[in-house]
Amino acid sequence: MSIISYMEPDIDGKLHEECGVFGMYDLDGGEVASTIYYGLFALQHRGQESCGIAVSDTCGPKGSVNAYKGMGLCNEVFTPETLESLHGDLGVGHVRYSTAGSSSRENAQPLVLNYIKGTLALAHNGNLVNAPELRRELAYTGAIFQTTIDSELIAYYIARERIGSRNVQEAVVRAMKRLSGAYSLVIMSPRKLIGARDPFGFKPLCIGKKDNAYILTSETCALATIGAEFIRDVEPGEVVTITRDGLHSDRSMCFADPEKQARCVFEYIYFARPDTVFDGVSVYHSRILAGRCLAKDSPVDADLVVGVPESGNAAALGYALESGIPYGTAFVKNTYVGRTFIKPKQSNRVSSVRVKLNVLKEAVEGKRVIMIDDSIVRGTTSHQIVRMLREAGAAEVHVMVSAPPFLHPCYFGTDIPSEEQLIAHDKTIDEICMLLGADSLSYLRMERLYEMAGGLPICTACFSGDYPIAPPTEDIRGDYVR
């Protein structure tokens, strides 16, 4: 286990997702912990603060759950010996980045709950906007909380509803009627694996199968990693249950309104891995399309198109394909720098951007460069990257952004900060361009987002202020790690 002296969550200046979830039930009784580990490894980009796995043996003592979780990356938390000790044919896993609730081991997931009907293990991706209200209600009825995250509230409400329900999946449906916000859930009961997606479909969740084992996970890339077959996406508002008899879905329990669906558009722009397909739309294709749209809407005469790794690369390729300007590589990324690193002394301070990225001088010297990134949040990182290109000899630097300007915070599981911290909130594009030190600056047009999502209903609140659910009147985003 590596020793981490300092946590710098914004080392790359990017936005971060709350987490990724993975669940597996091997109907032939095979061990699932190692496969869940590799599934989480494929989802590591969705959360790098903590991770965990909880497993159960459906042929063993009912309600016995073996769990292990900790702070850090998957390969830091789990060892071969740890995985071998997690015996069971049913399990759930989680990788986390905190957008609500502090970064600490007690907030790591999956959460394991012992209650009068047995046990539950729950992994959650998303944020509830009515979390303060739910927490007060539970507190006044005697609930004692072990964490500061809204995922624990979901687990409590499922456990409470289970007392008067015929089965756990019915309890999940009843609990969902109390929840407001974004959530994709993977839940393990002693003999069942359950997946649930909020009625708006904010966060992704899909179903896969490998041999005689079923999988529920955030992204299709995790299925490909373990050699599983993609079956379909869990639909917004749907609850699916996997038992010894196979996969079941009672569509009468699906209470979503198709007219009000609101998938997070940032899955296509940045969060998801490019080899993921989200609700039938290829993320890679979406990013290529964004670049093509930028080339059509914001043409610039230049010598080279480059992307800021990693999510800017596909958009840069799309721009090059559409414009005919050569696509190239300008940045070398240090892949061994995660979200943690040792803080240098004040006398020897190194820019976190330079720790992670270096510029290929030979590629950019004397050239007019179009630099494509997925977003500009505060602008400090983009400013440093532009300066690095100029120091390497770039004659011109034109910044293109494959998203519209960020103007509003997000309450659904993305760590977009308050409006005052967003560079675009009170500045014009020309003013931002000047602060970045670029020769020009262009953003993706709002209407292009719907093309990127294949015409599916999407949430654009962080750009437009049009929230699909009324924003909370209380701060629900807790102790951001910044």
Q: What is the mean pLDDT of residues 94-112?
A: 76
Residue 161 neighbours by CB distance under 10 Å: 19
Q: Tell whether the model's pLDDT for residue 142 goes beyond 50.
A: yes
Strand partners, 192: 189
Question: What's the CATH number of domain 19-261, 3.60.20.10, 3.20.20.70, 3.40.50.10260, 3.60.15.10?
Answer: 3.60.20.10
- In single-letter form, the type of residue at position 402 comes to S
Q: Tell whether the model's pLDDT for residue 205 goes beyond 70.
A: yes
Q: Rounded CA gap, 467 and 448, in Å?
A: 18
The predicted structure's pLDDT at residue 421: 86
Q: Tell whether the model's pLDDT for residue 273 goes beyond 50.
A: yes
Closest CA to 215 of 203, 229, 201: 229
Q: Tell whether the model's pLDDT for residue 342 goes beyond 80.
A: no
Q: What is the pLDDT of residues 13-30, one digit of tens each?
A: 555 456 999 999 999 999
> In residues, how long is the chain?
482
Closest CA to 234 of 265, 260, 208, 267: 208
Q: What is the mean pLDDT of residues 103-129?
A: 89
Q: What is the pLDDT of residues 380-426, one digit of tens each?
A: 889 999 999 999 999 999 999 999 999 999 999 887 778 888 999 99
Q: Are 166 and 136 in contact (CB under 8 A)?
A: no
Q: What is the reported pTM? A: 0.90
Query: Which residues are the active-site residues?
Result: 19
Q: Tell whether the model's pLDDT for residue 201 goes beyond 60.
A: yes
The predicted structure's pLDDT at residue 310: 85
Q: Are 88 and 66 in contact (CB under 8 A)?
A: yes
- In single-letter form, the type of residue at position 144 comes to I
The residue assigned the tokens 């959650």 is 124
Q: In the β-sheet with 206-210, what is the strand arrangement from edge to edge? A: 65-71, 50-56, 90-96, 19-26, 213-217, 206-210, 229-233
Q: Which of 236-245, 331-340, 386-395, 396-405 is predicted with the least confidence, judged by mean pLDDT?
A: 331-340
Q: Tell whether the model's pLDDT for residue 103 goes beyond 80.
A: no
The predicted structure's pLDDT at residue 252: 65
The pLDDT-based confidence of 476 (bands split at 50, 70, 90) is low
The reply to whether CATH 3.40.50.1820 applies to domain 278-464 is no
Domain span(s) for CATH 3.60.20.10 in the chain:
19-261
Q: What is the pLDDT of residues 158-178, one digit of tens each?
A: 999 999 999 999 999 999 999
Domain span(s) for CATH 3.40.50.2020 in the chain:
278-464
Collect all residues with Cβ–Cβ distance below 8 Å to 418 and sequence separation of at least 6.
409
The predicted structure's pLDDT at residue 10: 41
Q: What is the mean pLDDT of residues 239-262?
A: 85
The predicted structure's pLDDT at residue 354: 78
Q: What is the mean pLDDT of residues 111-138?
A: 93
